[in-house]
C-alpha cells in the first residue's frame, strides 16, 4: 500500500513483487505458485506436497524484491535519501495478518543491485524495497496469511505558474496560497502562487483548488501535481519539496 495511491479504486501501489533466486527455488520445492497483479502477490500451495515438506521443516525464510513500475515513485515516497531502499522484516508469531510500515531505509545505490526472477539476474533501478518473511514451523500451515507493507507519501508546497493571465489583475487561489514575484520561464512571464504550507500528495483528491479573478471563478479545478514535476532541496538542514504545476 502507498499513501499516494490509496485514494484510487484499488488502493494498491504500482509495484511488482518478485522473489529472489533462493526463494524462487524454495517455492518450487514446496509446490507454491505465485499469482501476481498490481501491488500484490498471492502464494497458492499444492496441498499434499506443502504439508509433507512442512512437517520436516523448522522454519522458512522468503525474500522478495518490490519493484516500482512508476518511474517517479521516489519523488513521492517519504524516504531519507534519493537512492534509499526500504528493508522490511516480517515474522509471523501470533497473528496471521501482518501490517508493517516501511520505516527502515538503507543507503544502497540501486545501480549496484541485481534481482533474480526465474533464475535470470535482472538489473532494475526501480527497486524500492526488500521484504523478508519468516515463517516458523507452527505457521507452516495452509491457514491464510497476509503481509501488508505501507509506504508514506511526502507533502510538498504546491507552486502554480500561470502564463495566460493577461488583463487579469486580481488572480487568486483560495486563502491557502500566496502570490509570489513573477518568474520568467522560456521567455514567458508567469504569475506564481505558492501554498503557504506543504500539502500531502495523492493521486486522487476529493476537493480541488479554483483560480479566481476578482473573486469570480475562472478555472474551477486547477491541475494536480505530477510526480515527475517535484523538486527536493535542503533548507536549514530540513528536506523540503515543491510540486511545480504549469498552466498555459
Q: What is the pLDDT of residue 118?
A: 44
HSE, side-chain direction, 13 A CA sphere, residue 123: 4
Q: What is the pLDDT of residue 37?
A: 82
Q: Which residues, other chains included, contact 224 with Cβ-Cβ below 8 Å and sequence gap of 6+?
A: 205, 208, 245
51-61 burial, b if ≥16 CB within 10 A, otherwise e? eeebeeeeebe
Return the H-helix or E-strand segment holding 24. Answer: helix 21-29
Average pLDDT, the chain: 86
What share of the chain in percent tops pLDDT 90? 43
From the list 203, 219, 231, 232, the residue with the least C-alpha distance to 163 is 219
What pairs with residue 150 in β-bridges?
101
CA distance 128 to 141: 30
State the average pLDDT over residues 76-101. Answer: 90
DSSP 89-117: EEE-SS-SEEEEE---EE---GGG-EEEE
Q: What is the pLDDT of residue 223?
A: 94
Q: What is the pLDDT of residue 70?
A: 85
State the average pLDDT over residues 143-151. Answer: 91
CA dihedral (64, 70, 72, 73) positive or negative: negative
State the average pLDDT over residues 66-92. Answer: 88
Answer with the residue of higher pLDDT: 206 or 102: 102
**Residue 157, pLDDT above cutoff 70:** yes
State the average pLDDT over residues 178-203. Answer: 93
What share of the chain in percent tops pLDDT 70? 90
**Residue 246, pLDDT above cutoff 90:** yes
The three-point CA angle 145-149-151 to 5° equals: 165
The three-point CA angle 48-53-57 to 5° equals: 150
Q: What is the pLDDT of residue 46?
A: 87
In this prediction the pTM is: 0.82
Q: Which of 93-107, 149-163, 188-202 has the lowest mean pLDDT?
A: 93-107
**Residue 170, pLDDT above cutoff 90:** no
Supply the DSSP symbol for 151. B
Q: How far apart are the first and last CA of the chain?
A: 34
The answer to whether 232 and 218 are in contact (CB under 8 A) is no
Q: What is the pLDDT of residue 122?
A: 47
Q: What is the pLDDT of residue 109?
A: 58
State the average pLDDT over residues 8-16. Answer: 72
Highest mean pLDDT (candidates 6-10, 12-16, 28-32, 117-121): 28-32
Give per-residue pLDDT as tens, 94-125.
889 999 999 899 876 555 555 545 434 444 66
**Residue 128, pLDDT above cutoff 80:** yes
Amino acid at each position: 500500500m502507498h499513501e499516494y495511491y490509496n485514494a484510487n479504486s484499488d488502493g494498491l501501489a504500482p509495484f511488482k513483487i518478485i522473489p529472489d533466486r533462493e526463494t524462487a527455488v524454495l517455492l518450487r520445492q514446496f509446490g507454491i505458485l505465485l499469482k501476481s497483479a498490481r501491488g500484490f502477490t498471492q502464494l497458492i500451495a499444492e496441498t499434499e506436497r506443502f504439508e509433507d515438506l512442512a512437517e520436516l521443516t523448522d522454519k522458512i525464510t522468503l525474500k522478495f524484491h518490490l519493484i516500482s513500475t512508476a518511474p517517479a515513485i521516489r519523488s513521492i515516497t517519504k524516504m531519507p535519501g534519493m537512492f534509499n531502499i526500504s528493508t522490511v522484516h516480517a515474522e509471523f508469531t501470533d497473528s496471521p495478518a501482518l501490517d508493517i510500515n516501511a520505516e527502515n531505509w538503507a543507503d544502497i545505490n540501486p545501480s549496484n543491485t541485481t534481482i533474480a526472477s526465474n533464475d535470470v539476474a535482472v538489473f532494475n533501478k526501480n527497486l524500492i524495497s526488500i521484504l523478508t518473511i519468516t515463517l516458523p514451523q507452527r505457521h507452516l500451515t495452509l491457514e491464510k496469511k497476509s503481509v501488508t507493507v505501507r509506504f508514506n507519501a511526502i507533502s510538498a508546497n504546491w507552486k502554480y505558474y500561470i502564463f495566460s493571465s493577461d488583463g487579469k489583475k486580481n488572480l487568486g487561489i483560495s486563502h491557502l496560497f500566496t502570490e509570489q514575484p513573477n518568474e520568467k520561464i522560456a521567455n514567458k512571464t508567469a504569475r506564481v502562487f505558492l501554498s503557504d504550507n506543504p500539502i500531502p500528495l495523492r493521486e486522487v483528491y476529493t476537493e480541488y483548488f479554483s483560480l479566481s479573478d476578482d473573486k469570480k471563478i475562472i478555472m474551477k479545478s486547477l491541475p494536480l501535481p505530477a510526480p515527475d514535476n517535484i523538486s527536493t532541496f535542503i533548507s536549514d538542514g530540513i528536506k523540503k519539496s515543491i510540486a511545480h504545476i504549469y498552466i498555459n
